[in-house]
């Protein structure tokens, strides 16, 4: 009889151990991100990053859905493919075309320019879609315009972390931003499905535009700083050649790039096929 209370206590302690471990891990994560959240300028822009990431997650559903509504029937697949491509591919072109003009910009300015362009283009799409004046061609062109600076905007977000945080805190800052973006990919499509079912995909894209307007306003109030003086810029051709030489010397990096290209080559058609 005397062993029963002892066993009960041991069982209770064993049951409480996982909860205590989880609580300890949660406190450890908070301590990791605390220095990032204490940085006043990053704390100012993080809500905008979270909002725009959620808006992009919602547009993953709305872009294809709206294309199907604009061009029903046999041509739906073609225009859906064009719309999905226009929402992403011009960012790659913009990264090459505008490097000479924007490579010296601070992270905050890059984010502001991209978010402003995205808000204006997506907002125009939303207004035209809701009022019934959006054509399929105009839709694709506006989507292409909205993504033209997006590679620079994404790079600007991480550049801002490097400008505002000391080196030992930059990993936590990058991880926090990546966590916000990945969480938005999970939540955004579900939320977009609900909004689109009740109001239509045009309103979803309108929410995306508003989210980038929030990011543009918050980024415009941030003053980035360079941690080191930039070296004298080399010619763009020399920079590109040097970059490719580095990649060729790293077999693992080259393999990762190849796998990534194959993955997105095979995944792209899925985004077109699912709504059809």
Domain shared by 160 and 249, yes or no:
no
Separation of alpha carbons 86 and 142, rounded Å = 8
What is the phi-psi region of residue 200: left when phi exceeds 0, alpha when psi lies from -120 to 50, beta otherwise? Answer: left
Under DSSP, is residue 249 helix (H, G, I), strand (E, B) or coil? Answer: coil
Domain that holds residue 239: 234-276
Those residues whose C-beta lies under 8 Å from the C-beta of residue 124, and which sit 6 or more positions away, are: 142
Q: pTM to 2 decimals? A: 0.74
Domain shared by 94 and 53, yes or no:
yes
Q: Which of 217, 210, 226 is nearest to 164 (CA)?
A: 226
Domain shared by 162 and 49, yes or no:
yes
Domain shared by 143 and 217, yes or no:
yes
Query: For 90-140, how does the pLDDT look when each residue is reduced to its tens digit (9 = 90+)?
Result: 888 888 888 778 878 888 899 999 999 999 999 999 999 999 999 999 999
Q: Is the Cβ–Cβ distance between 90 and 148 less than 8 Å?
A: yes
Place of tokens 């699912």: 274
Separation of alpha carbons 115 and 24, rounded Å = 38
Task: Answer yes or no: is 8 within a domain.
Answer: no
Separation of alpha carbons 45 and 155, rounded Å = 15
Domain shared by 252 and 201, yes or no:
no
pLDDT in tens, the chain (276 residues): 455 555 555 555 555 556 555 544 545 555 666 777 777 788 888 889 999 999 999 998 899 899 999 988 788 888 888 998 899 888 888 888 887 788 788 888 999 999 999 999 999 999 999 999 999 999 999 999 999 999 889 888 888 888 888 887 888 888 888 888 888 888 998 999 899 989 999 999 999 999 999 999 998 888 755 444 444 445 555 555 566 677 777 777 777 777 877 766 666 565 555 555
Long-range CB contacts for residues 263-266, cutoff 8 Å, separation at least 24: none
Crossing angle of helices 201-220 and 107-131, in 10° steps, is 150
Domain shared by 244 and 196, yes or no:
no
The predicted structure's pLDDT at residue 30 = 58
Under DSSP, is residue 3 helix (H, G, I), strand (E, B) or coil? Answer: helix
């Amino acid at each position: 009889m005397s062993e029963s209370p002892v066993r009960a206590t041991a069982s209770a302690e064993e049951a409480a151990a996982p909860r205590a471990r989880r609580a300890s891990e949660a406190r450890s994560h908070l301590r990791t991100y605390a220095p990032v959240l204490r940085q006043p300028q990053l704390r100012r822009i993080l809500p905008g990053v979270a909002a725009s990431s959620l808006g992009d997650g919602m547009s993953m559903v709305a872009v294809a859905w709206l294309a199907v509504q604009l061009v029903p029937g046999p041509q739906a697949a073609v225009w859906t493919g064009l719309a999905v491509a226009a929402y992403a591919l011009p960012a790659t072109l913009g990264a090459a075309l505008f490097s000479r003009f924007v490579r010296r910009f601070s992270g905050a300015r890059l984010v502001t320019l991209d978010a402003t362009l995205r808000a204006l283009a997506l907002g125009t799409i939303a207004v035209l879609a809701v009022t019934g004046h959006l054509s399929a061609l105009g839709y694709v062109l506006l989507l292409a315009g909205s993504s033209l600076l997006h590679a620079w905007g994404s790079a600007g977000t991480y550049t801002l972390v490097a400008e505002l945080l000391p080196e030992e805190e930059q990993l936590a800052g990058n991880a926090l931003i990546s966590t916000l973006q990945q969480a938005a990919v999970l939540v955004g499509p579900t939320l977009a499905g609900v909004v689109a079912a009740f109001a239509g995909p045009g309103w979803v894209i309108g929410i995306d535009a508003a989210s980038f307007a929030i990011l543009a306003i918050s980024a415009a109030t941030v003053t980035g700083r360079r941690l080191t003086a930039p070296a004298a810029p080399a010619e763009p051709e020399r920079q590109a050649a040097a970059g490719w030489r580095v990649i060729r010397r790293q077999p693992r990096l080259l393999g990762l790039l190849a796998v990534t290209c194959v993955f997105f080559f095979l995944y792209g058609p899925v985004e077109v096929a699912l709504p059809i």
